[in-house]
Amino acid sequence: MLSSSKPTLGVISAEPEPIKLDWASTALLIIDMQRDFMEPGGFGETLGNDVSQLARAVKPIGVVLKAARDTGMLVIHTREGHLPDLSDAPPAKVERGAPSLRIGDPGPMGRILIRGEAGHDIIPELYPLDSEVVIDKPGKGAFYATELTDVLEKYGIENLLVCGVTTEVCVNTTVREANDRGYRCVVMSDGCASYFPEFHEMGLKMIKAQGGIFGWVADSAAVLEAMKTSTTQG
């Protein structure tokens, strides 16, 4: 699909309105599908959350990830986490609340939310290929203190298909950052999940309200359909 020099366009049936994208300037951005958020014993569970709430996003992401790989779309994965010496972890984040284990403490999947530990890694079902980009981020947003802007500029990316966890935290923060930087974001509704189903619903509503104040929302079927029915212009 991306081999032609002419633009290959797809129209996604999104809310609040359909959006036409040139696939060559579109990347799939998968936010924080890490064991630390998805599995028992990780950061998410230490905060008191029911991690089983997030499992529903895995299959829809997997289907779109396969389609993106088949068509040569740029795929970017992110991971939230910190250096082993915690030098990039603000005390305000580490000391917050009363989790069962704090960031950096030893847990069943290694030290909680620390780069290089088993819990920090991406779940096997969505594991990055060597050719794909992996962005390590210390914050909730994928732009803060990362090389993401440089990567998007290098590949000429103007549009982001965004999915991952959690809808109202790292997905929403990243979409807001991206929107302010001029990227069109289409958020995959069934490819995101929250520990709180009501926050998932509201997180998506916040993005698409007011004429799409932060971006567009579409389900994985709509994204796949747009990829399948693309047209070459010119």
Q: Which residues bind ligand TIU (CB under 6 A)?
A: 32, 37, 44, 47, 80, 140, 165-166, 169-170, 195
CB of 188 to ligand TIU, least distance (A): 15
Q: Which helix (H) or strand (E) holds 71?
A: helix 58-71
Name the residue nearer to ligand TIU (CB basis): 75 or 169: 169
Q: Which of 61, 108, 98 is nearest to 219 (CA)?
A: 61
Q: For residue 56, what is the DSSP state?
A: G
The rounded distance, in Å, linking the Cα atoms of 104 and 43 is: 10
Name the residue nearer to ligand TIU (CB basis): 80 or 190: 80
The rounded distance, in Å, linking the Cα atoms of 9 and 14 is: 15
Residues noted as catalytic: 32, 137, 170
CB of 204 to ligand TIU, least distance (A): 14
CB of 164 to ligand TIU, least distance (A): 7
How many helices (H) and strands (E) the chain has is answered by 8, 11
SS3 call for 80: strand
CB of 5 to ligand TIU, least distance (A): 37
Yes or no: say if 15 and 216 are a contact pair by the CB < 8 Å rule: yes
The rounded distance, in Å, linking the Cα atoms of 103 and 89 is: 9
Q: For residue 127, what is the DSSP state?
A: P
